[in-house]
Structure 1
Amino acid sequence: MISSKTDGVTRRGVLAAFAATTVIAAPSYANAFGLLRGAGDIRRLRMYSGRTGESLDTIYWIEGDYIGEAIKEIHHFMRDWRTDQIKQIDLRTLDIMAAAHGLMDVSEPYMLLSGYRSPQTNAMLRARSRGVAKNSLHMKGQAADLRLKSRSVGQMAQAAAACHAGGVGRYSRSNFVHMDCGPVRNWGR
């Protein structure tokens, strides 16, 4: 597990990066990446899993380069905990998660509820709930369901939507936000 300080990350830097990206008219993944510029040229993810008891605090990108070992740790952490299957998580999803976290100006780690889902797990969850898509992006490693104790579903969804880089689902009754790198869209309350 990689731990590191982020002394270079300031609220002013994150807000300046956010202001700079809001002038971009067309939604694109560049928006999520732009939100991370000015943040000391690092990208960091902090998460824990109540299901496995694991936690992750890693810098996965420095000065324009993804760090292979950190990315492997993230893939393992975001595995389907029910089947222990690992899938590569789309780097765009990681960048959206990191950008949204930075916009919320919070040091609390995300609670990961669901990252990768095997087809078997997705089918089981779909049989139990109407809210699970048959062709869920979770099965492609392109989505994450996340929660923060210190931020509301609305605040989290607003931060993720500000990235203009993928799908954002609000699940207020279950207290989590879905973030993915698929088409830009919003749903739920």
Structure 2
Amino acid sequence: MGTNSSSGMTRRGLLGAFAATALTAAPTYSNAAGFLRGGGDIRRIKMYSGRTGERLDTIYWIEGQYIGEAINEINVFMRDWRNGKTINIDTRTVDIMAAAHRLLDANEPYMLLSGYRSPETNTMLRSKSSGVARNSLHLKGQAADLRLSSRSVRQIAQAAASCRAGGVGRYSGSDFVHMDCGDVRTWGS
């Protein structure tokens, strides 16, 4: 997703050099963003998709500003992989994901199982499982289902829940954690 320019300098390289000069802590945008303070005034998200084979490692926020190009990359990466439809992913969800990842001190990227879900996909999944909500926050680009092979479902859920910034669902049987920017709540085992 990040491509080399004709000069050989990548956008990420340029942003990384710029971010290295940042000395102030990130202002709190949500409770999750508060956990991102002290990160050099940058926010970064790392993910891969086993469904598409794509990888994303991007700095999406610097000095109090979301980076439009990076947010667009996140929107495409978190698309409904079944039909290619995209939506603007709520940056509050991305902040929760990044904050939990930072709290876990994990180097590996998240495996994204589900980000945006189109109405057609949600209807199809509901017909196959009682665990899919009719008005899922996935439909609004406000949720993600994630996994880390180096951390347990319990560890990931605890990190996300400690942000007190949205919903956290534990799905131990399926080995993933749901994170969203809706009401603060937890469920599952």
Q: Which residue of 1 aligns with 2:167?
A: 167
Q: Distance in 1 between matches of 2:47 and 2:155?
A: 18
- TM-score (structure 2 length as normaliser): 0.86
Q: For the Cα contact (< 8 Å) 2:41–2:64, is it kept in 1? A: yes
The corresponding residue for 1:126 is: 126
Give the C-alpha shift of residue 31 in structure 1.
1.5
Counterpart in 2 of 1:109?
Answer: 109
User: Residue type matched to 2:59 in 1?
Assistant: I
TM-score normalised over the length of structure 1: 0.86
| Aligned 1:85-164 pairs, distance under 5 A | 85-164=85-164
User: Residue 42 of structure 1 aligns with which residue?
Assistant: 42
User: Does structure 2 conserve the Cα–Cα contact (< 8 Å) formed by 1:169 and 1:187?
Assistant: yes
Query: What amino acid maps onto 2:97 in structure 1?
Result: M
Is residue 29–residue 164 contact of structure 1 (8 Å, CA) maintained in 2?
A: no
The AA in structure 2 aligned to 1:185 is R
Q: How far apart are the structure 1 equivalents of 2:61 and 2:158?
A: 24
Q: Distance in 2 between matches of 1:159 and 1:113?
A: 18
Q: Distance in 2 between matches of 1:103 and 1:168?
A: 15
What is the aligned partner in structure 2 of residue 21 from structure 1? none
Residue 97 of structure 2 is aligned to residue 77 of structure 1: no
Stretches of structure 2 that go unaligned for 5 or more consecutive residues are: 3-11, 21-25
Alpha carbons 2:30, 2:92 under 8 Å: kept: no
Question: RMSD across aligned C-alpha pairs, in angstroms?
Answer: 1.8
CA apart distance, 1:29: 6.1
> What is the aligned partner in structure 1 of residue 183 from structure 2?
183
| Structure showing greater relative contact order (alpha-carbon pairs closer than 8 Å, 6 or more residues apart) | 1
1:24 matched residue in structure 2 = none
Moved over 2 A (4+): 1-8
Between structure 1 and structure 2, the one with the greater Rg is: 2
Number of residue pairs aligned between Structure 1 and Structure 2: 171
Q: Once the 2 structures are TM-superposed, how far is the Cα of residue 30 of structure 1 from its aligned partner? A: 2.5
SS class of match (2:173): coil
3-state DSSP of counterpart to 2:45: strand
Q: Offset of 1:180 from its aligned partner?
A: 0.0
**Percent identical:** 72
1:61 aligns with: 61
- CA drift at 1:69: 0.2
